[in-house]
Structure 1
């Protein structure tokens, strides 16, 4: 057996074990300290020498095989940085809505996410998260809870602002620029899916400029499509770029199972920036309007009325106090019944607004979207077979 000798055996130079070469790792001269030792002392020295050898082996192996903590990749560092920076600005929203049926009134609980947009406690979320709620509670990342009051909403874009009153100023999320987004760009979603607070998911921008039809039948224009996992409870939370800026509000998913399948939609932050000031100041969004009752044209109607175009808006009536009347847009004078509805024909036909062709009242709304009080918009009409361009001063109306 290595490192042992038979009791009473004084033949210590025996090299049958083959260790003499290995023992040489002990520095020369170390044994000279033991010159003149007795037979028993020399045996002790051999045992000491063997023990030191194995100790050295264990130390070397420990140095070689000690596990080391791997360094973070660049991508991981970005993920961590974004989460640490933005998660304190993301809140959990819980609601209570009173439901009435034929027999009783009972509470229904709801949940969603939101983003702090002002240090004083204004929180941005989706309208459908707080719609009809009799009670709204906001929970911060540190667990503090506050009752929230409704400030304002725009159902057309599914946006709402609520307000809490914290003891100290909060850290708001930074708003980015959704006009500069590109398909393939990495994005993050932070929210509270299924009630799991402050959950981070990652993905890319899958498409831009998508129209989104909500459950209520409203169409939200130019939304962002992403494959970052968005689940129930994420609604109202931020979609974030790698700089830690909010570029959208996570709003809806396409799903057959109730959970994420990689097709989510976010309202671009450009829309949010336009809406927030009105929501905080007025509680609603003021929009540019013409003040007309119009009828979208189609081929058969144009043929029946012998109109010169097949696409446009036939102006039936004009509100006398509206911008359209001030600009000289004319309504019809001859009543005609179409599918049970009476319209007036003989008025102007609007074919473009602000240089954009129009074929529906929704097209007119889109063309006026984002216009400010006092701006002048060019409206092109056909009157008595001639094209005219009228200048309409913009007025905003709730």
Structure 2
């Protein structure tokens, strides 16, 4: 009986020795399992012998499998990358010791049609004496500046290149907070970089030139210097915005808050160029203050929503139609405001609660269109017909 136990122990020890020293390193077991169960992924072990000893590493025998989210990330990147370009703007500065010295700024852009039109930010190419575009296939082309819209920080370029792949433009009116987004660009000159996040807010902000960007898309997708002018994409790879600036907190790099111009603003810019050869943005020519229930109660307004007209621009559309601005100075915190003006509650039947609502209405019209503006003057409800003027840099 004891002899059987001894033989059994010797058999187990010998089997373990053969298994660990010969069959596992050679992959014999892995090959047998793989042939017996072809659908089962099996990891193998590779042995490397050298002067520092023996190294046994586990390696995957199966190709990597991506989950549905990873696969969608990959699809968005592959679909969009051929349309994203690097934009280099060269200016000549004068150095006291070296004389004229070329200086370069870099940003991103994206192709919108087969004719070589490219959208980017105005601040990417501003003051550039030579604009160069580098495609994803590394071919470089000199770009012509077709037109710029400084007030919305937009620029349209054009190159002469074959076989271009344009992006697909979405309707940014339908975007919502919480929606997944992707940013593709060239941060710090690192070409073809994609980051991912969500839309964290929709708000009006001041752009790089100080002009207001209505309905700006706030995102936590990492955006850094060099991303400017690049596309912000939805989960289908369609462009919903143009990445334009970051909240850097003085560090000149992403702090988790970036802003994009809604693509509908850029589409209106391109549509104007196609129709008229220049930008013809419609304007109501008013400076307004959004009203909520608390402010409405304090001021004794007839409605607890809308935008209060602080000022009408001289000679503008609102003044011609008879809208009235504020006549009394007041303060909201430390900010001076003018109260006593008309309260706009709807335009063409669409409720107006913020300046973004006004911007949405403007984006759906053209200069010269006539809209019906519903206001409260004191507690009297009035409808006025306003013929929209053509926005100018002075007005914005």
TM-score under structure 2 normalisation?
Answer: 0.67
Deviation at 1:359, TM superposition (A): 11
Q: How does 1:1-398 map to 2 (within 5 A)?
A: 60-63=28-31, 65-66=43-44, 67-69=60-62, 70-99=64-93, 105-166=100-161, 168-207=162-201, 209-256=202-249, 257-280=251-274, 282=276, 284-289=278-283, 312=309, 318=315, 325=320, 329=322, 351-352=343-344, 354=347, 368-373=362-367, 375-379=369-373, 388-394=382-388, 396=390
Deviation at 1:288, TM superposition (A): 2.5
**Any idea what the Cα deviations from partners look like across 1:223-252, whole Å, max 9, x if unmatched?**
111111111100000011121111111111
1:377, 1:268 → 2: CA distance?
23
| Conserved? CA contact 1:238–1:248, under 8 Å | yes
1:184–1:330 CA distance, 2 compared to 1 (3 A): closer
| Conserved? CA contact 1:349–1:382, under 8 Å | no
| Conserved? CA contact 1:350–1:381, under 8 Å | yes
Q: If you compute each CA radius of gyration, which structure gives the higher value, 1 or 2?
A: 1
SS of the residue aligned with 2:70?
Answer: helix
1:242–1:395 CA distance, 2 compared to 1 (3 A): same
Structure 1 portions without partners, runs of 5+: 1-15, 26-50, 298-307, 339-347
**Any idea what the Cα deviations from partners look like across 1:124-158, whole Å, max 9, x if unmatched?**
00111111111100000001000001111111211
Q: Which sits farther off after the overlay, 148-157 or 379-388?
A: 379-388
SS of the residue aligned with 1:273?
Answer: helix
2:359, 2:198 → 1: CA distance?
31
1:190, 1:359 → 2: CA distance?
31
**Any idea what the Cα deviations from partners look like across 1:142-191, whole Å, max 9, x if unmatched?**
0100000111111121111000011x231100011222323222211111
| Conserved? CA contact 2:119–2:154, under 8 Å | yes
SS of the residue aligned with 1:271?
Answer: helix
1:152–1:114 CA distance, 2 compared to 1 (3 A): same
Give the aligned CA root-mean-square deviation in angstroms.
Answer: 4.2
Q: Which sits farther off after the overlay, 54-63 or 66-75?
A: 54-63
| Conserved? CA contact 2:183–2:233, under 8 Å | yes
Deviation at 1:388, TM superposition (A): 4.8
1:378–1:255 CA distance, 2 compared to 1 (3 A): same
1:201, 1:227 → 2: CA distance?
9
SS of the residue aligned with 1:82?
Answer: helix
1:115, 1:175 → 2: CA distance?
11
| Conserved? CA contact 2:120–2:229, under 8 Å | yes
Deviation at 1:375, TM superposition (A): 3.1
1:135, 1:219 → 2: CA distance?
28
Structure 2 portions without partners, runs of 5+: 1-5, 34-42, 45-59, 290-300, 303-307, 330-339
| Conserved? CA contact 1:288–1:368, under 8 Å | yes
2:360, 2:240 → 1: CA distance?
21
**Any idea what the Cα deviations from partners look like across 1:68-127, whole Å, max 9, x if unmatched?**
233122222111111111000000000012346899654321000001001110000011
SS of the residue aligned with 1:175?
Answer: coil
SS of the residue aligned with 2:264?
Answer: helix
TM-score under structure 1 normalisation?
Answer: 0.67
Aligned length: 321
| Conserved? CA contact 1:351–1:357, under 8 Å | no
